[in-house]
């Protein structure tokens, strides 16, 4: 008896049953993923007679297992004997199509759609269509939701009588009492319409479409906006206005902002579907209404579509429509109370420059551009500056600079430092848009002047800009145009400006590399170690620590180490602390005997004692942690 038991233990069905009864869910999922292998081992007859009934018995497992099963069954046609026997897969997939978990149902419906194409016309009528009818007539909402996705795959292959029955079933779903069922039917209306004849679309689908577009629930009505695009693509041009445009215009004026938002979001797709003539007579007024909608979300969505909508207009009337019917509404949006609307407009308005040409751009778009450039919202300003290239290519750099520079100078010299900071932060982006030649001629001096601004935040932003500018224009440009100007600040009477020199060297060393740092910037840092202000001296120590990582070891030993050791003997405790820290970080070896005999004082004590031991007036000193 031992041998039969052994043979039975190796039986694929026995193995599968044992694994499916295991408490470990991952093991059960793995066994489902191996169903095709088991089916191959069993053969087509046993797969149909034994494996599929077993699958039906496990329909009450965890959702993860059922999801894997629904996916596997979609590829099972060859394993049950080919198209002739594909209908054997329908019972388990029908059960999976009505489970509670949506993702399992969707995968089951996907598999049903996949295997529907392998049914012969007779099998469609004998097996697949009855399945659809059972789902449509099911008491469970899940059943009717799943049925909505199956009409488009079975309708083309059945007889005229069955087609009529399927159309009636679909009409029933579109008028179902349950909202979720009507939403599912509305979502699949476009796919179903694609497999119908034009006459059937006009007589059957358009009435369904109109009813759903006037549904009491906005969740259904907003789905019909996308369906409007699909149906418009199927109808001849002469039928569009009578059959679709009325519904579309009603959707654009719907009481629900979500429906109007969907119209704005899909507007350019609708424009492409209906063609240029209907666009001029029907869609331009609708677009105007969306641009002045009382909900900001709708206005923002319409603003996002402005450029694409104008590009899609027929060349015969494009310029005239933009100037007379679109730009007046755009001017209102420039001063819109909602920043998201203004930001959306700023992201696309520059795209109208190539459409309108040089003269119209200067006359009509430039005022909008300058107004948005002064906007209080940073996203609006960023969107405008990011798209400057569109205008530059149309009107030229000289014309653009004539209008742009006065605004930049006005903002750069504003009494409010936060306004000045905006232009400082956008300067690398402006430099990239205008190029090196224009930057050197018009903006370079302005950038360098910010290094001595009386507000630290401006000086800090200007310092960080130097790194970004060097990354754009190269080391040679930095050596010729930036570094000499920075090094002159080391002789400035104001110690804050001298400290700015050190901060600039810290960031420039990262992009200029070892050679330029060693030859041109390191001597200035070493010279500033003798500065009379302690704040400058301890920032020298911090700068040496910062740039020391890119210097050669010989330079560190011969030039940097002696200066740091000297600073460890400074009368100011903060200078001592940062000098010792730099020596340690740079691994420059032991320091003098005096330093070794002294136990390093904690930084907090240094900071507390620095106020008492320094010759610098208290109101001019900074706590080191607060320094940049």
Domain ranges of the chain: 396-473, 478-588
Give the chain's end-to-end CA distance (angstroms, integer).
Answer: 85
Q: CA separation (Å) from 477 to 177, 218, 430?
A: 73, 60, 17
429 membership: H or E segment, kind and range: helix 417-434
Low-confidence ranges of the chain (pLDDT < 70): 1-10, 589-628
Distance of CA 195 to the CA centre of its chain: 35
On the question of a common fold for 396-473 and 478-588, the answer reads yes
For residue 455, give Cα distances in angstroms to 21, 428, 475, 504, 507: 73, 20, 28, 16, 19
Give, in order, the Cα–Cα distances in Å from 429 to each of 425, 432, 471.
8, 5, 12
DSSP 624: G
Residue 51 confidence (pLDDT): 87
The answer as to CATH 1.25.10 being correct for domain 396-473 is yes
Distance in angstroms (rounded) separating the CA atoms of residues 478 and 475: 5
pLDDT at 10: 58
CA-closest candidate to residue 221, choices 193, 244, 248, 191: 248
Task: Please tell me what DSSP assigns to residue 483.
Answer: H
- Give the separation between CA 346 and CA 617, rounded to whole angstroms: 50
Q: What is the pLDDT of residues 28-49, one digit of tens each?
A: 888 888 888 888 888 889 888 8
Q: Tokens 């979609």 correspond to what residue?
A: 74
3-state secondary structure 259-319: HHHHHHHCHHHHHHHHCHHHHHHHHHHHHHHHHCCCCHHHHHHHHHCHHHHHHHCCCCCHH
What pTM did the predictor assign?
A: 0.70
Tokens of 159: 């007889």
Burial class (CB in 10 A: 0-12, 13-18, 19+), 494: exposed
The residues, ordered by sequence, that sit 6+ positions from 481 with a Cβ below 8 Å of its Cβ are 440, 444
Tokens 């109101």 correspond to 619
Burial of 282 (0-12, 13-18, 19+ CB in 10 A): buried
pLDDT of residue 590: 53
Using an 8 Å Cβ cutoff, are 483 and 520 in contact? yes
Tell me what pLDDT residue 310 has: 92
**What 8-state DSSP symbol labels residue 450?**
G
Asked: is 478-588 a CATH 4.10.490.10 domain? The reply is no
């Amino acid at each position: 008896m031992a041998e039969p038991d052994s043979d039975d233990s190796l039986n694929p069905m026995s193995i599968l049953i044992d694994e499916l009864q295991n408490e470990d869910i991952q093991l059960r999922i793995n066994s489902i993923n191996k169903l095709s292998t088991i089916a191959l081992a069993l053969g087509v007859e046993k797969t149909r007679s034994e494996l599929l009934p077993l699958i039906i018995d496990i329909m009450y497992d965890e959702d993860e297992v059922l999801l894997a099963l629904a996916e596997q069954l979609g590829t099972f046609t060859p394993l049950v004997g080919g198209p002739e026997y594909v209908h054997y897969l329908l019972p388990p997939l029908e059960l999976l199509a009505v489970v509670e978990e949506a993702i399992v149902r969707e995968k089951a419906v996907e598999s049903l759609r996949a295997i529907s194409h392998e049914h012969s016309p007779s099998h469609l009528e004998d097996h697949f269509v009855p399945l659809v009818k059972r789902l449509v007539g099911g008491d469970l909402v899940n059943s009717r939701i799943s049925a909505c996705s199956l009409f488009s795959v079975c309708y083309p292959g059945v007889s005229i009588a069955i087609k009529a029955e399927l159309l009636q079933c679909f009409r029933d779903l579109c008028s179902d009492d349950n909202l979720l069922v009507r939403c599912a039917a509305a979502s699949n209306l476009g796919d179903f319409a694609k497999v119908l004849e034009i006459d059937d679309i006009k007589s059957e689908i358009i009435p369904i479409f109109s009813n759903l577009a006037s549904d009491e629930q906005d969740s259904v009505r907003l789905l019909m906006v996308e369906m409007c695009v699909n149906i418009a693509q199927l109808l001849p041009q002469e039928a569009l206005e009578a059959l679709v445009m009325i519904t579309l215009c009603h959707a654009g004026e719907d009481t629900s902002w979500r429906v109007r938002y969907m119209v704005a979001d899909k507007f350019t797709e609708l424009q492409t579907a209906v063609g240029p003539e209907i666009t001029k007579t029907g869609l331009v007024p609708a677009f105007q209404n969306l641009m002045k909608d009382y909900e900001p979300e709708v206005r923002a969505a319409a603003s996002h579509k402005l450029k694409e909508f104008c590009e899609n207009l027929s060349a015969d009337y494009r310029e005239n429509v933009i100037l007379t019917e679109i730009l007046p509404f755009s001017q209102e949006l420039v001063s819109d109370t909602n920043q998201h609307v203004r930001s959306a407009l700023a992201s696309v308005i520059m795209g109208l420059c190539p459409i309108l040409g040089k003269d119209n751009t200067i006359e009509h778009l430039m005022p909008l551009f300058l107004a948005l450039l002064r906007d209080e919202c940073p996203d609006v300003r960023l969107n405008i500056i990011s798209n400057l290239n569109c205008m530059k290519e149309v009107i030229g750099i000289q014309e653009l600079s004539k209008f742009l520079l006065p605004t930049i100078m006005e903002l750069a010299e504003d009494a409010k430092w936060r306004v000045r900071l905006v232009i400082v932060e956008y300067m690398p982006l402006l430099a990239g848009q205008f190029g090196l030649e224009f930057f050197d001629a018009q903006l370079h001096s302005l950038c360098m002047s910010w290094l001595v601004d009386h507000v630290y935040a401006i000086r800090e932003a200007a310092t960080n800009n130097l790194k970004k500018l060097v990354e754009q224009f190269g080391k040679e440009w930095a050596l010729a145009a930036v570094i000499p100007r920075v090094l002159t600040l080391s002789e400035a009477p104001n110690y804050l400006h001298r400290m700015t020199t050190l901060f600039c060297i810290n960031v420039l060393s990262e992009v200029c590399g070892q050679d330029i740092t060693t030859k041109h910037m390191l001597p200035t840092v070493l010279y500033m170690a003798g500065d009379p202000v302690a704040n400058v001296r301890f920032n020298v120590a911090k700068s040496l620590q910062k740039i020391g990582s890119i210097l050669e070891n010989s330079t560190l030993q011969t030039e940097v180490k002696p200066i740091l050791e000297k600073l460890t003997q400074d009368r100011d405790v903060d200078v001592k602390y940062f000098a010792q820290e730099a020596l340690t970080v740079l691994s420059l070896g032991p320091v003098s005997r005096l330093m070794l005999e002294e136990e390093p004082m904690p930084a907090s004590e240094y900071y507390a004692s620095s106020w008492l031991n320094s010759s610098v007036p208290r109101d001019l000193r900074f706590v080191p942690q607060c320094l940049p």
